[in-house]
């Protein structure tokens, strides 16, 4: 994984990040990864008040290869962790936005680079 300082002072620390994942079978990995994220999304959807992230998926194409985008809303992922103090709650929200982006939302894009690498 490569991280660079964000160009915009309001951007999250992950804005300029990129990674390459090496696997035996790209298609199988992407299919399984999306299924796992979907099951996590379904779990969070069962109880909207649960302190779990929510997920949205979109199909994408990069250089002719099919991949997908995942939008993760992590704004309530750690809620309920005894953050009833307004000062702690404000600090928590500031931290979540610094790490994941405005509103605690992060986007991840996954697409095959070749048959053994995802970028």
pLDDT in tens, 5-32: 566 666 676 777 788 999 999 999 999 9
Domain membership of residue 1 (yes or no) is no
Domain membership of residue 5 (yes or no) is no
* Alpha helices, DSSP H, located in 22-75: 26-46
Domain membership of residue 104 (yes or no) is yes
Domain membership of residue 25 (yes or no) is yes
Structure tokens at 13: 């620390």
The whole domain housing 100 covers 21-118
What's the pLDDT tens digit per position in 41-59? 888 788 877 778 888 999 9
Of residues 28 and 83, more confidence is placed in 28
Q: What percent of the chain has pLDDT over 70?
A: 80
Mean pLDDT estimate for the chain: 82
Do residues 70 and 108 lie in contact, with contact meaning Cβ atoms separated by under 8 Å? yes
Domain membership of residue 9 (yes or no) is no
Collapsing DSSP to helix, strand or coil, 40 comes out as: helix
- State which H helix or E strand residue 62 sits in: strand 54-62
Place of tokens 């299924």: 35
Based on the structure, what is the number of domains in the chain? 1
Domain membership of residue 2 (yes or no) is no
Q: How far is CA 100 from CA 91, 94, 96, 104, 117, in A?
A: 14, 10, 6, 5, 25
pTM of structure = 0.74
């Amino acid at each position: 994984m490569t991280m660079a300082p964000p160009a915009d002072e309001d951007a999250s620390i992950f804005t300029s990040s990129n990674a390459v994942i090496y696997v035996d079978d790209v298609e199988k990995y992407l299919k399984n990864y999306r299924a796992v994220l979907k099951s996590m999304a379904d779990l969070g959807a069962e109880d909207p008040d649960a302190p779990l992230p929510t997920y949205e998926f979109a199909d994408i194409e990069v250089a002719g290869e099919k991949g997908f985008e995942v939008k993760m809303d992590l704004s309530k992922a750690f809620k309920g962790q005894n953050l009833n103090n307004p000062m702690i709650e404000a600090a928590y929200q500031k931290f979540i936005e610094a790490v994941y982006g405005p509103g605690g939302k992060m986007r991840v894009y996954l697409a095959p680079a070749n048959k053994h690498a995802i970028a």
